[in-house]
């Protein structure tokens, strides 16, 4: 076993605190990673506070992990000691179902093994995430970080980046397409950068005008405040694709009115409440309402390579791990532009 340390929530809603635990030693196919950085995702907060139910405690959150390989198992061929690598939202899957064989491990029919707040494929052993100094992962679930991307600002790509890249790629955002991003937060700002790099015409829809300058700096062509009554009338029938990153209750029917015929609105944010949808919002224009959940290993590597080619990283605020509880409160208040990343060296 590998003695490890991190920060954990002991019970629901408890402040995160120092935690000692053991990682397994490297099996033949395993890679041992010295974690250098871990992003803070809003889902970390939801799960540490058991807001989605079913949380497993003690919990070491974190699934936006970057670091350096420190040891490899005897049969590892994809990585070597010293490689810059990442780990995203899951660390294993069944590998046998139709979805796994298609490279869609995030939709594993028997359930992927989440990087934290989950179970290994034995369905017994709890997983611990990246708010820690080491992690051991099968080589087939480890990602390679492009050499030109700094590990701190690249960390949020492992969740926020793939969460936006996957629907933008699947719905073919690119030249000639008009794409709207609802919300300019940790997810939304990645959507703007990636959609712009794909060649789409990008519009940001935000509640107020406070972030307009940021949106334009990140690559948005247009910016509209949804609190202004004229916005929905002005933009009616404008967009081929809308990516909704917002996790707060909102009138999805109003946003569906902004789609062209055959347009799609893709949901990646998770509101706490059910959202009512009127049938006419969809049938009057042959519109689609869809959802998207991260990406498989191959697509996540594709996203990282794309970001390397276009020098795309997250806009981050780097913090010591001792400030993680303060960071959680600031995330809830949307007081970060645009992603907190923990410097794991602060654990020492």
Q: Please give the C-alpha separations between residue 27 and each of 61, 73, 82, in angstroms, as whole numbers.
A: 23, 6, 18
Degrees to nearest 5, angle at CA 14 with 11 and 18:
90
**Topology of 161-291 in CATH?**
Rossmann fold (3.40.50)
Q: What pLDDT score was predicted for residue 248?
A: 86
* Residue ranges of the chain with per-residue pLDDT less than 50: none
Q: Does the global pTM surpass 0.75?
A: yes
Best CA proximity match to 194, nearest among 162, 226, 222: 162
For domain 2-159+314-346, the CATH architecture is Alpha-Beta Complex (3.90)
Question: 125, 119 in Cβ contact below 8 A?
Answer: yes
State how far the Cα of 276 lies from the Cα of 250, in Å rounded to an integer: 9
Domain ranges of the chain: 2-159+314-346, 161-291
Residue keyed to tokens 């949307």: 334
pLDDT at 272: 78
DSSP string, 257-316: TTEEEEEEEEE-S--SS-----HHHHHTTT-EEEE-----HHHHHHHHHHHHHHT----E
pLDDT at 247: 87
Which two structure tokens, joined as six digits, stand for 325? Answer: 């509880």
Closest CA to 65 of 12, 143, 139: 143
């Amino acid at each position: 076993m590998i003695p490890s340390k991190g920060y954990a929530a002991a019970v629901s809603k408890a402040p995160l605190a120092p935690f000692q635990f053991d990682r397994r030693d490297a099996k033949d196919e395993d890679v041992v990673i010295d974690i250098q950085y871990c992003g803070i995702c809003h889902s970390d907060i939801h799960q540490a506070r058991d807001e989605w139910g079913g949380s497993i405690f003690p919990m070491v959150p974190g699934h936006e992990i970057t670091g350096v390989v420190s040891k490899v198992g005897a049969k590892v061929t994809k990585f070597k000691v010293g490689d810059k690598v990442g780990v995203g939202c899951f660390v294993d899957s069944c590998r046998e179902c139709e979805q796994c064989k298609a490279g869609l491990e995030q939709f594993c029919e028997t359930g992927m093994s989440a990087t934290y707040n989950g179970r290994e494929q034995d369905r017994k052993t709890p997983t611990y995430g990246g708010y820690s100094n080491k992690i051991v992962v099968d080589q087939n679930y480890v990602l390679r970080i492009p050499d030109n991307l700094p590990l701190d600002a690249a960390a949020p790509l492992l969740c926020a980046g793939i969460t936006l890249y996957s629907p933008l790629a699947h719905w073919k955002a690119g030249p000639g397409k008009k794409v709207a991003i609802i919300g300019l937060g940790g997810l939304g700002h990645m959507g703007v950068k990636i959609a712009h790099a794909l060649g789409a015409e990008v519009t940001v829809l935000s509640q107020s005008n406070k972030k307009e300058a940021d949106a334009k700096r990140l690559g948005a062509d247009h910016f509209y405040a949804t609190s202004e009554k004229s916005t929905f009338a002005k933009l009616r029938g404008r967009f081929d694709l809308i990516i909704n990153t917002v996790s707060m209750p909102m009138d999805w029917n109003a946003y569906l009115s902004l789609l062209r015929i055959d347009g799609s609105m893709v949901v990646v944010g998770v509101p706490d409440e059910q959202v009512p949808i009127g049938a006419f919002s969809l049938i009057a224009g042959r519109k689609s309402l869809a959802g998207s959940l991260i990406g498989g290993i191959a697509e996540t590597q594709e996203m990282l390579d794309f970001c390397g080619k276009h020098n795309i990283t997250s806009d981050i605020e780097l913090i010591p791990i001792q400030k993680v509880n303060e960071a959680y409160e600031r995330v809830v208040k949307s007081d970060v532009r645009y992603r907190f990343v923990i410097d794991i060296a602060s654990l020492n």
